[in-house]
Structure 1
Amino acid sequence: MERAAVFDVDGTLADTNHLHVTCWWEALRQAGHRVSMHDVHRAVGLPSADLVAHLLGGDRDPDRDAELSAAHKALYGQYFDRLAPLPDAGPLLKRLHRDGWTVVLATSAGGAELGALRRAIDADEAITATASADDVEQGKPAPEPVEHALELAGVPAERAVFVGDTVWDMRAGSRAGVRCVGVLCGGIPRADLVEAGADVVYDDPSRLLASLSDSPLA
């Protein structure tokens, strides 16, 4: 039977979370909102509209959400040619592909941003499909992005593993009924990932690759 390895991208395969933090902080600052970088960091991983609502709550004009998202996108776009993969991200995907796993990305990125991330990871031959937040009605922590990834892979939840770096990832994977693997390279504490549903947590893709034989991806 087919098996699916579903991966978040930002903070899981690409070292981009703190770039997102800086760009969201600046976009919010330009719009007159004072939000701490710590709070922004904890919100990274949510779809743009949900991130803004999470950070600003009632202290916002929903009609300006699109402007904030566009400002973040423009600021982040300046880094597209410098995005860096996390250690062994590409080799991990290639190894899983060789081992017979169907590798699918589940990310809120799309268009030029997704292209830049895939160039940084440099493992296109191992990636079967990409499930974007644009393809579903609700992004993480709703289960829909992971469920859509499983549909693309043609694999049931019990034959899949989801790897991510945020509590939103772990909640989405748990709600979709898949085993969840957390990584610490996005900056979220181990205890928070476990509480949100991680079955096991590794430092980064390199450590997961080195421990593959003893992991849920064995």
Structure 2
Amino acid sequence: MKAPPARAPARERTRMERAAVFDVDGTLVDTNHLHVVTWWEALRQAGHRVPMHAVHRAIGLGSTDLVAHLLGEDRDQDEDAELSAAHKALYGQYFDRLPPLRDAGPLLERLHGDGWTVVLATSASGAELSALRRALDADEAITATASADDVEQGKPAPEPVQHALELVGVPAERAVFVGDTVWDMRAGRRAGVRCVGVLCGGIPRADLEAAGAQAIYADPADLLASLEDSPLA
């Protein structure tokens, strides 16, 4: 029997491997506006009048940071957990029908087939993360996931992206981060990776560019169709 080819030493593998790190909400799964409506309703039920456009701009932050961004640092912080729980309950009603964005799964599968190590870096966790992965239906292409439970600080801090790279042992210079919000782009830039933006989360192109996006595509389908000329070539 022919012996299997020898595996390269760990240090050499790290130099060769490349990581494609993806945000999930608004980037791969079409959930941003569901989050807007359910956060708006959770805030409304607690007596807070926050316009939906302001909620939309905050999507992508972790729960505590989102509430602080919308209500200010002088808010009653004892209410944060109740607001987060209300949002989770409202958003959980959609877990069985979260819609993947067009060609999101095929994009991950193509990158995996091309030799990229695919990692998710998301503020979701638990049942929510499971629902997102079911919607993507591309588990075989995903090597690891960095969730909200794994980090102390969420985006725009670099920790979620850094932790995603630590999980697969790939340095920042060998990685690309794809996201849909300014928080994603700032986190990726601070982590030292190349940043790619997508417009399907509803954030304007100019805002993503100002936050650090080096290339921008309409959605996963556009990125997949343009892959050979993208930073993920």
TM-score of the pair, normalised by structure 2:
0.93
Which has more radius of gyration? 2
**Distance in structure 2 (CA, Å) of the matches to 1:59 and 1:80:** 33
Deviation at 1:59?
A: 5.4
Equivalent AA in structure 2 for residue 154 of structure 1:
G
SS across alignment from 2:24: coil
Runs of 4+ in 1 over 6 A off after TM superposition: none
Equivalent residue, structure 2, for 1:3: 18
Equivalent AA in structure 1 for residue 179 of structure 2:
G
Answer yes or no: is 1:108 the counterpart of 2:134: no
Equivalent residue, structure 2, for 1:216: 231
Equivalent residue, structure 2, for 1:45: 60
**Distance in structure 1 (CA, Å) of the matches to 2:97 and 2:224:** 24
Render the CA deviation track for 1:172-198: whole Å, top value 9, x for unaligned.
Answer: 000000000000000000000000000
Identity %: 86
Which segments of 5 or more consecutive residues in structure 1 lack a partner in the other structure? none
Answer yes or no: is 1:56 the counterpart of 2:54: no
Deviation at 1:80?
A: 0.3
Equivalent AA in structure 2 for residue 73 of structure 1:
K
Equivalent residue, structure 1, for 2:113: 98
Equivalent AA in structure 1 for residue 109 of structure 2:
K
Which segments of 5 or more consecutive residues in structure 2 lack a partner in the other structure? 1-15
**Distance in structure 2 (CA, Å) of the matches to 1:109 and 1:117:** 9
SS across alignment from 1:78: helix
**Distance in structure 2 (CA, Å) of the matches to 1:145 and 1:88:** 24
Aligned CA-pair RMSD: 0.6
Task: Select the residue among 148, 162, 166 that pairs with 1:151.
Answer: 166
Task: Select the residue among 183, 187, 190 that pairs with 2:205.
Answer: 190
Equivalent residue, structure 2, for 1:83: 98
Task: Select the residue among 68, 72, 87 that pairs with 1:72.
Answer: 87
**Distance in structure 1 (CA, Å) of the matches to 2:141 and 2:17:** 15
Deviation at 1:60?
A: 2.2
Equivalent residue, structure 2, for 1:177: 192
Aligned length: 218
